[in-house]
Every structure is written in structure tokens, then in C-alpha cells.
Chain A
Amino acid sequence: MTEINPQSPQDVCDAIADAKRDGVRLEIRGGGSKSLIGAPREARTLGMSAMAGVVDYDPAELVLTVGAGTPLAQIEQLVASERQMLAFEPFDHGPVFGQAAGKATIGGVIAAGVAGSGRVTAGSARDHLLGFTAVSGRGETFVAGGKVVKNVTGFDLSKLVTSSWGRLAAITELTLKVLPKPRTSVTLGIDGLDCSNSCAAMAQAFGSNAEVSAAARHHDGATIFRLTGFEPSIAARLVMLPKVLEAFGTMIALDPDQADIFWRETGAGLALKGDVLWCIHVPPRQAANVIARLEPFSPHWSLDWGGARIWMSLDSGEAPVRGAAEAAGGHAMLIRAPLSMRQAIPVQHPRLAGVAALEARVRRAFDPDCIFETGRFLGEEVAHAD
């Protein structure tokens, strides 16, 4: 199908009106780095890349307003120039699909709720979106939230639109909270911990005064801990952390380049061989159970968020991943899979009936005509629930 490239929110409104008139669905697309997630769809593409640019950036206010189509890389470069960062550490999905990085846009990152290893202590994408302008499926432009870091005026639609995957509204502009980039970062590792001990060590670290900002287990077997902050604080915590984790083994400081590779890979589920990649969310204590249960299917896996996020790759689609996630009180999202599997298995873990119905009503509140229901999420469209 065709692609439309709006230059303004009004163009987005027009595109929605046109789609409605023509009886076609619209897929909102930023850079397309996540386009291989989900089932193939029959839709007209609404390319947001022209809705780009920095609207306002005041580092001392910790607030950044940008067009949704602005490349993530450009934003990261901009905030880094002021020694700041997006503390939820979003990543580019391109490399997950064997493509080059650089296509991801900030709108796409927010729409998919993408967060990296710092999520446990710094929060996720939803915790850093302060406000936005968008066009809903009704073809109406609306704003929500604000442009200051503290605001409770009205419903917190910023949370709702984050990770809504373009099924409520096309975001055109967004305001993010930015934070200072830690002046120093050191990574320590312990080798050879099995999944269960690795999670126990990470839990102990997060529960201690050593204030680790991230903890993960690389697929090669190293359990890694990140300390960030000012130099004198790091120096103190470098003494503290090995004592806290004494029972788990010897800690060694990682070479910074090696550490960067480890964090990039565990933060984005990279370097895991296998056609099928799942992202499994569980209470951290359950990670070992999930992995034990799926062991017969020879998974490759890494842990992030202290075990609360499992990246798992498999050679085939037969493993009962969803059952294992559910038994652990969590859920599993299908990130990468061959076409046949994507046509049959929904990306998102099916919800219980009550929540599914509520979600459908919320989606229809924003998109009554199912303009944004492209079939990507399989069988979740309910037109006019009200």
C-alpha cells in the first residue's frame, strides 16, 4: 500500500479522514526499526519522519520537546552535548533484526515503551514522557500532560500512550524529562553464577546501599553490576559492593569497552542466536523457574532488570514460552519470529478477559473506527465496543 508523509498535525488529521473515507487502516511508522514485530498488515503507512526537530530544550529545566519523528540518535547526541541523557536508556531495535542502527525515532521508542538496563532504578519510557500532542483515531489533534517535570493535572495520558504501539493516536510532538548523565560509570562482574544465584546476587545488590543502577546477566555467563554517579561516591561503593556480594564469588572490574558491549547486548536482547526471540517479563525471583522449564528446548538467554526481563532466543516456535511466563506470574512478548509464526502467534501476551475488554474499550475511545487496527496484533480488534 501507499505511504503518506505528513508535514503537520493537520496533515495527520487529513490522512485519517482519507483513510476513513477509503476504508483503509493506517500504520503509524517512525523509522521502521520495529516493523518486523507483529503480523504482516494490510494498511496504508503514515510515515512520521517529517514531523522531526527539536522544539525546545532547556537543560537546566530537565525538559526536552521534540517532534515525534526525530531520530533517537540525534536526540541522544543533543542531550549528551549538555552532559544529559534519556535516563530510561531507550535502544534501537534495528540490530535485533540484523539491521543497522540509526532508524529508530523518539516517537517509535515511546510508542513501544522501549527501555534499557537502567529501568529498575531510573524508570521506563512511561516515567519520562511528560506530555504530548497527538492526533487520535477520530482525526482530532489533542494535547495531554504538560511541559514541566511535576504535574498531576487531569488523567495521565502520557502513561497510556507510551507502549500503546500506535493504536490510540499518532503522536506528533512529545515532551520528555531528561536527566544528568552520571559523571562516572563502572561495571563489576561475577562469573559463573547459574540463573538462580545470579538473580539472588542481583536482588541483594539492588537491596543494598551500594546503589547499583543496573544489574544483568550476560548470555556468556557474567553477572554484571553497574555503579554510576560522582567519583567519590563510586569509590565508596566499589568497596561496599564486593562485600555485599561476598558469598557469590569474586567481583572483577570490567574493561569499559567490554562493559559497553555487555550492557548493549543484555539491554536489547542482542547476540542471542536463533530465529525466535522472546522478551519475558516476570517477577525476578521467578526467572530461574522459567528458564528451567524451557531448558528442554535449548534456549539462549540473558537477563536484564535483575532478572525481571528475560531475553530468550530459540530455534523454533514450539517451546511453551507463554505458559512458562504465565506460570511465573508474568507475560511474554514475541519480538522476532519467522513470518509463519508471526501470522499465528500474537506479539503481546493475551490478557485475561476483563482486562482485554477494558483495553478494547479504551482503544475504541480513542479510535472508534479502528483506523489504527492494522492486524499487527492479531485478533484484538473490536470495533465500536461502546
Chain B
Amino acid sequence: MSIAMPIPDASTLKKRATIIAAMREIVAFDNVIDDIDALRPYESDGLTAYRQPPMLVVLPETVEQVSAVLRWCHREAVRVVPRGSGTSLSGGALPLADAVLLGLGKFKKIIEVDYEERIAVVQPGVTNLAITQAVEGRGFYYAPDPSSQIACSIGGNVAENSGGVHCLKYGLTTNNVLGVELVLMDGEIVRLGGRHLDPAGLDLLGVVVGSEGLLGVVTEVTVRILPKPQTARAILLGFPDAERAGACVAQVIAEGIIPAGMEMMDKPAIHAAEAFVNVGYPLDVGALLIVEVDGPAAECDHLVAEIDRIAGENDAVTRRVSNNDQERLSFWAGRKAAFPAVGRLAPDYYCMDGTIPRRRLPEVLSRMEQLSEEYGLAVANVFHAGDGNLHPLILYDANKPGELAKAEEFGNDILRLCVEVGGVLTGEHGVGVEKRDLMPEMYNEIDLEHQHRLKSAFDPLLLLNPGKVFPQLHRCAEMGRVHVHGGQHRFPEIPRF
């Protein structure tokens, strides 16, 4: 691990045995993990470049236990790192040597589903996909669909404000959460939002969503569920270059169409994906678009015809419309396999997550190409084209001396470029430890101080998830990010796209 985290507190480390005993007073004996080997699985999240075994893991089973754990830690000034499924790509759940890692994995109940009010009340450890699975029998689903949805928890989604390929039309987590039960660092239990729509006072729920575990620990979530669209159809479009693909995207939106999903891949990504899954992507194009629409069949038929026309007007050289679900899924197969496919091109890759104004795409891609030449590292691009969220994948070989550092510097330059053209550092992965030291690229000291004071209003002693989101003064020169070596993810079974 090569990133500066808050210096472990010596007095906390010294009283580890006392802390363990105190935790065992609060939760069942076996729900405190203190054995060094048993702590290993918790040493990192989805951002595997950083590893740090926690001081101990506590796995509460009730909100009262969460409250008691936090109250005790608050009184004793012990740091706490909350964790859901540990799939964060930005190091949001990275443990600290002197902190209790508070795992919410035992909060697995779906408490209630109310189809009339179209809400589900669930515990934070329930996976994103499990919500949909619980309600799909009645024709409903939970809309935000991060690529890790088979594993990521709804509590983690709330912390990270997770998105997904459908968020242009259906929103991020924040737009689909109605209420939470939250335990503050001092143990106080509060309910924010609920089954009604507007808050009575300040929209604290709005700022808790996406707060990356810095403001409180979520112990219950009320989400909105939606009727599953009757039909979905996709259209696969190939363009000579990204410029014309981008113009097509702009025209689709200008003509009033908000597709359910709109994904772009550049030439290296197309070739990698096709070589990997062999779904018939055209190899003679410079950019590929997959556009999905959903709704009543008549609407889908109308929209695919319109999008096909618009694509023609923007010089699309490949235009294929799905006529059944199998075809639709085959269009998606390559895109959904893009990360592992790119992973086959080099021993390691590093995934970025900036957002740019879409109109700046051609310029950003060409400057990225220049950077690629300067650094001598290849890059493949997949892109949530509707909302401008870029996922450049930088290819490198960690076994070559200096290449890792080069890849990281290249990544930093890409994010700086995103900010320079009017975009942001992260569209959906979160700041975590990964991008915290780049925050000054986007916000000045006064901006960050305003954010930090909000943190203090929730957690005055700064005990909850320290070292995340805010830049640290003493940062190491070398920083690690979402690195994948030899195609070995920490969670190889979870798709990433």
C-alpha cells in the first residue's frame, strides 16, 4: 500500500484487547473478528491496489448494536470504517490499522414491499439485485443497476450514490431512495425521509446519499420500485469515427429522445470485445453505439425507427436493430465484457471514471490519444454516452519497472483533462481514497472547507471513515488505483462495465 492514510493512533492500538472485549459485550462473540488470518479477507475492497487489514471487524445484527458500537467508539475516540459488500472501486471501504471495520453484511432482510406505494424497505446488506429479484414476480424492479449489482449492497449504493447503464433515464441511487435510518457516530439513531416525498426541513437524506460513509451508518433503506417496462429493444450502430457517433447522440437527445441506455466504445474497445466474445461487432468502424429504449412495444418500435434514421443522417455505416431479447442481449454482450476483454490485451489495466460535457468528446479523445503516445501506454475507451461518463482503460504491465507509476500519472492527466473541459473527477465510482488528492483540481480550499464543515456537523470528532474523500496533507508520491493484474479482479465473478 502506497497511499498516506491517517497515522494510526498509538493509544488505540495499545488498547486493542479492551476494544475487542467491549465489542463482544455488544455483539455476539463470533461477530467480532480479531484473528489476524480471519481479518485478511477484509483488507481491501474492489480497489485492490490498497490493502490494510483492519484492527478488528465487528458484525452487528441490529440497529441497537450498531448504535452501541458507534457510541462506545465515539466515547473512546476509536475510528470506524463502515463496509457493505466491499465492492467499491474507489477504496471507500479501505480499512485502517487503528479502526473498527463495521460490516453490515448481516443486515440481509427485505423488511417490507408495498406494491401499492411502490416502495421496498430493506436492510443495507441486501444486494442491489436481490431487491429486483424480490419484486420481479409482481412485475416490478429496482432501477439503478451498477455493473456489480449481483454483489454490491444497497447500503453501499446509498453511500456511493451508485449509477448504472440506465441512469440517464432512471437516475442514480439518490433519485430512487425515499428514506433511510441512519446511525450517527455518537450512536444517535435518526430517520431521514420516509414514505412521503418532500422533507419537512433540510434535505439531509439528499446529502447522506453519496457521502461515502463519512456522515453516518445506514441501517435501513426505503427505495422506490418501478413497474418493469413491457418491452426493451436495442440498436447497434457503427460510425467511421467518435465525432459522428457523438453527433448522433446529440441529435437523438435534441429530438427529444431519452433512451434507457446509450453506450459508446472506441476502436480498441470494439476489437478487444469482439475478439473476446465474438458477437459480430463491426471491426471496420471507429466508434460503436449501443442504444436501448424501453416502454410499451409501440413506443420502442417508434423510437428504434427514429434512432435508426438519425444514425443514418450521421453517417452510420452499421445499423442493426434487435428483433428479440436474444439479439438485444447479444448487442450488449460485447459491451458488458469490455473490461475483461481489454484485460486480455495487457497484463494490467487501470479503469478511470471521469465525466465530461459530451460536446467535448472528440477533443478529449484526441488529447487522450496524444497522452497515450507520450506515455507509451495504450488506452481503450468505453463511455456512457448519454451522460458523458468516460471509462478509459489504461493498459500497462506492472512487472515493467516504472510502468505502474506512468499509468497512474496518465490517469491523473485524464482526470485533469476532464475537469479542464468542464467535467468532473468521478461520475459514478466515488472519490474514496483513489481521487481524494485530485479534489483540489475541481474545488478550491474554500469549497472543500464548506464540505468539510458539513462532515463535522455529523461527526465532529472525524472518527467515521477518515482518510477518504478529502485530500490528505501528507500524500505519498506514488498512488495506486483500480488496477487489474492478469485479469485477476478481487471479485472475478462480478461483471464490471
List residues of A whose CB falls within 8 A of some B CB.
Answer: 58-63, 82-83, 113, 115, 119-120, 123-124, 126-127, 136, 140-144, 146-160, 162-164, 179-183, 200, 203, 206-209, 211, 229-233, 235-237, 240, 281-285, 305, 308-309, 329-331, 333, 348-349, 351-352, 354-356, 358-359, 361-366, 386
Enumerate chain B residues within 8 angstroms of A364, measured Cβ to Cβ: 457
A230 pairs with B303, CB closer than 8 A: yes
What is the bound-complex CA distance between A365 and B14, given in angstroms? Answer: 34
Enumerate chain B residues within 8 angstroms of A230, measured Cβ to Cβ: 256, 299, 302-303
Enumerate chain A residues within 8 angstroms of B200, measured Cβ to Cβ: 281, 331, 333, 348-349, 351
B197 pairs with A152, CB closer than 8 A: no
A154 pairs with B117, CB closer than 8 A: no
Q: A143-B447, A159-B206, A163-B198 are in contact. Are A148 and B301 (CB under 8 A)?
A: no
What is the bound-complex CA distance between A154 and B206, given in angstroms? Answer: 13
What is the bound-complex CA distance between A164 and B200, given in angstroms? Answer: 10
CB neighbors of A among B229-257 (8 A):
229-230, 250-251, 253-257
Enumerate chain A residues within 8 angstroms of B455, measured Cβ to Cβ: 155
A150 pairs with B389, CB closer than 8 A: yes
B296 interface neighbour in A200, A211, A231, Cβ under 8 Å: A211
Task: Name A183's closest neighbour in chain B (CB-CB).
Answer: B256
B298 pairs with A233, CB closer than 8 A: yes
List residues of B whose CB falls within 8 A of some A CB.
Answer: 114-118, 140, 160-161, 163, 167-168, 171-172, 174-175, 184, 188-192, 194-207, 209-211, 227, 229-230, 250-251, 253-258, 295-299, 301-303, 355-359, 384, 387-389, 422-431, 435, 439, 442-443, 446-451, 453-458, 460, 469
Task: Name B387's closest neighbour in chain A (CB-CB).
Answer: A150
A365 interface neighbour in B227, B258, B446, B456, Cβ under 8 Å: B456
Closest chain-A Cβ to B467's Cβ sits at a distance in Å of 15
Known: A144-B450, A160-B204, A231-B302. 16 other contacts (CB 8 A): A148-B427, A149-B355, A150-B389, A152-B210, A153-B424, A153-B431, A154-B431, A157-B454, A159-B206, A163-B198, A232-B301, A283-B194, A283-B195, A354-B188, A355-B204, A358-B458
Enumerate chain A residues within 8 angstroms of B161, measured Cβ to Cβ: 152, 156
Closest chain-B Cβ to A177's Cβ sits at a distance in Å of 10
Closest chain-B Cβ to A16's Cβ sits at a distance in Å of 14
A235 pairs with B198, CB closer than 8 A: no
Pick the most buried of B171, B190, B198, B203: most chain A CB atoms within 10 A of its CB: B198
Enumerate chain A residues within 8 angstroms of B443, measured Cβ to Cβ: 143-144, 154
Closest chain-A Cβ to B144's Cβ sits at a distance in Å of 12
Task: Name A182's closest neighbour in chain B (CB-CB).
Answer: B256
Enumerate chain A residues within 8 angstroms of B197, measured Cβ to Cβ: 119-120, 124, 281, 305, 308-309
Q: A58-B357, A152-B426 are in contact. Are A283 and B196 (CB under 8 A)?
A: yes
What is the bound-complex CA distance between A289 and B301, given in angstroms? Answer: 43
A155 pairs with B454, CB closer than 8 A: yes
Enumerate chain B residues within 8 angstroms of A58, measured Cβ to Cβ: 357, 359
Enumerate chain B residues within 8 angstroms of A60, measured Cβ to Cβ: 250-251, 253-254, 358-359
Task: Name A236's closest neighbour in chain B (CB-CB).
Answer: B298
Q: A148-B355, A151-B426, A386-B456 are in contact. Are A348 and B174 (CB under 8 A)?
A: no
Closest chain-B Cβ to A240's Cβ sits at a distance in Å of 7
Enumerate chain B residues within 8 angstroms of A157, measured Cβ to Cβ: 207, 450-451, 454
Enumerate chain A residues within 8 angstroms of B114, measured Cβ to Cβ: 285
A150 pairs with B356, CB closer than 8 A: no
Closest chain-B Cβ to A303's Cβ sits at a distance in Å of 13
Q: A207-B227, A329-B196, A386-B456 are in contact. Are A148 and B469 (CB under 8 A)?
A: no
What is the bound-complex CA distance between A283 and B193, given in angstroms? Answer: 11
A358 pairs with B457, CB closer than 8 A: yes
A236 pairs with B355, CB closer than 8 A: no
B190 pairs with A358, CB closer than 8 A: yes
A164 pairs with B202, CB closer than 8 A: yes
Q: A83-B256, A149-B387, A359-B201 are in contact. Are A203 and B299 (CB under 8 A)?
A: no
Pick the most buried of A63, A113, A365: most chain B CB atoms within 10 A of its CB: A365
